[in-house]
């Protein structure tokens, strides 16, 4: 999807990152959540372009030119 609609892919990617954080926090007690935050630091949001390349930068088989 990133190659055809990067904006929508970015929104979906960010949504999945948020869901992941919510799922982790849903099983932790408040004290564990505080400890987890101290251990992991401030959240960093990765853009999907780190993982996915546009057609201009890729060759068949997914390797970067």
What pTM did the predictor assign?
0.59
Domain ranges, ordered by start, for the chain: 6-54
Asked if pLDDT for residue 65 goes beyond 50, the answer is no
Four-CA torsion 23, 27, 32, 37, nearest 10 degrees: 0
pLDDT, tens only, 7-62: 888 899 889 988 999 999 999 999 999 999 999 998 777 777 777 766 545 554 55
Question: Can you give the pLDDT at residue 35?
Answer: 96
């Amino acid at each position: 999807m990133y190659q055809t609609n990067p904006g929508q892919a970015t929104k979906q990617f960010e949504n999945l990152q948020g869901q992941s954080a919510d799922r982790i926090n849903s099983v932790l007690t408040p004290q564990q959540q505080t400890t987890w935050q101290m251990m992991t630091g401030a959240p960093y949001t990765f853009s999907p372009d780190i993982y996915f390349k546009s057609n201009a930068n890729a060759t068949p088989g997914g390797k970067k030119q």
